[in-house]
Structure 1
Amino acid sequence: MAKQARAIRTRRQILEAAGAVFDEFGYDAATIAEILARAGVTKGALYFHFSSKEELARGVLDQAVTTEGILPQESKLQEFVDIGMVLAHRLPREPLLSACIRLSADHAARELLGTSWPAWTEFMAEQLRGAKEQGELLPHVVPEDTATVVVGAWTGMEVISVGLKGEESLEQWIAKLYDHLLPGIAVPGVLRRLDTAPDRGARIWETYLEVRDTLAPAE
């Protein structure tokens, strides 16, 4: 058990180092040597877990879709919003998550590895299907189409927020995105109760950290 726990920690350590390097340099310019230096592990340890840079990048992309930090809400549409808001809070602070967008947007990497977007789109569509079953969405809403729009818009806002380098945070930009999007899909009574404040993600994440030891393991 001790060896297994140590192996899990080492693998995570390597993934986080790889995420930081891919996020900073992109796929082509990233090197195993730099990842080793960041991870602080031996070459043998790295190759025990990952056989190549390509496999490392795939391992990073596998971390893209996560429910960590999302707490159950009475409103499924609020949970849908929370996913985007918590990610907006975490992504600037966690290079491993940021690297997933960098790799997905990198043309060379995308040709080789694919992207995290299909998995994100299906995950978000699932949340919207739950919201529709609860009667929270307007009749015309097609969850799969809306999920595609949201994932594309969310990714675009992240890219724009980095490029603008202004005073507004990613959390503020994503809050604006939801404020523009939700009136077109939410039942008015539900819309009035949704919390899309820019600090929503930070508040949910803080609460999650306080209670996570009592929760079932996140995906």
Structure 2
Amino acid sequence: MRTREAILYAAAEVFDECGYSGASISKIMKRVGVTQGGMYFHFKSKELLAHAVMASQQDFVQLPSGEDGLQRLIDMTFHLASELKNNVLFRASVRLAVEQGELGNRDDTAYQEWVEQFHTQLLAAQRGGEVRADVDVQEFATVLVGAYTGTQIFSNAATHREDLPQRVSALWRYFLPALTDPQTRQGLRVEPGVRTAAA
């Protein structure tokens, strides 16, 4: 298991640096220091290794604790922004999910898992009276994942995600008026510095 985890971590580093097309089994073997036999015992191909990294996306992140609801949802999005900058395993899995066409793959599992995570927080917020009655929380969770994905891709292209917390803050400033009432909004914190530090 330790060898498998070491291979997975090394593969994530190489996929993060080179993308799927630029990565190779030989680069990953060299990075982790295993023999060809040791590599193929755990992963028979680069494609299977990429799938393993991509499928482990949520395993690579420990989400911040807190009471379920809108504030925790906001905290989660800032925490993910920090993880995209600092956690190579998570960053590689996200890159592979975005670039999965290179694997000849169309799999939205990673995105759907985040929809479910966000939906859980929105349901709690709805039960607590934080969400407007006319909001479809399942639909909003899907929209949020799509908007967040586009935001982090844009930020990566522009600044290597250095400005991602500020972009996430802007996302919430425009989304919250459609989601909740002014009184609830006043009690929510969406400043990137405060949220990143708390996470």
How does the TM-score come out when normalised to structure 2? 0.87
Cα gap change, 1:187/1:34 in structure 2, threshold over 3 Å: closer, same or farther? same
Alpha-carbon distance, 1:81 to partner: 0.9
Residues 166-195 of structure 1, C-alpha deviations (whole Å, 9 max, x = no match): 895211111111121112102333211111
Name which of structure 1's ranges 183-192 and 144-153 shifts more when overlaid on structure 2: 183-192
2:89 aligned residue (93, 96, 103): 96
Alignment correspondent of 1:17: 10
Cα gap change, 1:110/1:127 in structure 2, threshold over 3 Å: closer, same or farther? farther
Q: Which runs of 5+ in 1 are unaligned?
A: 1-6, 206-219
* Distance across 1 between alignment mates of 2:55 and 2:194: 26
Conserved? CA contact 1:89–1:202, under 8 Å = yes
Alpha-carbon distance, 1:107 to partner: 5.0
Alignment correspondent of 1:128: 122
How does the TM-score come out when normalised to structure 1? 0.80
**Identical positions, percent:** 34
Alignment correspondent of 2:153: 159
Q: Does 1:147 align with 2:141?
A: yes
Conserved? CA contact 1:26–1:102, under 8 Å = yes
* Distance across 1 between alignment mates of 2:168 and 2:104: 28
Q: Does 1:203 align with 2:197?
A: yes
Conserved? CA contact 2:47–2:103, under 8 Å = no
Alignment correspondent of 2:79: 86
Alpha-carbon distance, 1:149 to partner: 1.1
2:69 aligned residue (65, 71, 76): 76
Conserved? CA contact 1:86–1:200, under 8 Å = no
Give the AA of the match of 1:136.
Answer: E
Conserved? CA contact 1:82–1:200, under 8 Å = no
Give the AA of the match of 2:189.
Answer: D
Conserved? CA contact 1:89–1:201, under 8 Å = no
Conserved? CA contact 1:58–1:113, under 8 Å = no
Alpha-carbon distance, 1:136 to partner: 1.1
Alignment correspondent of 1:114: 107
Give the AA of the match of 1:158.
Answer: Q
Give the AA of the match of 1:64.
Answer: Q
Cα gap change, 1:12/1:159 in structure 2, threshold over 3 Å: closer, same or farther? same
Give the AA of the match of 1:188.
Answer: P
Alignment correspondent of 1:48: 41
Count of aligned residue pairs for this structure pair: 197
* Distance across 1 between alignment mates of 2:23 and 2:87: 18
Alpha-carbon distance, 1:128 to partner: 1.0
**SS, match of residue 194 in structure 1:** coil
Cα gap change, 1:168/1:189 in structure 2, threshold over 3 Å: closer, same or farther? same
Give the AA of the match of 2:181.
Answer: V
Conserved? CA contact 1:88–1:201, under 8 Å = no
Give the AA of the match of 1:12.
Answer: E
Alpha-carbon distance, 1:28 to partner: 2.5
Alpha-carbon distance, 1:24 to partner: 2.1
1:31 aligned residue (24, 31, 36): 24
Cα gap change, 1:194/1:10 in structure 2, threshold over 3 Å: closer, same or farther? farther
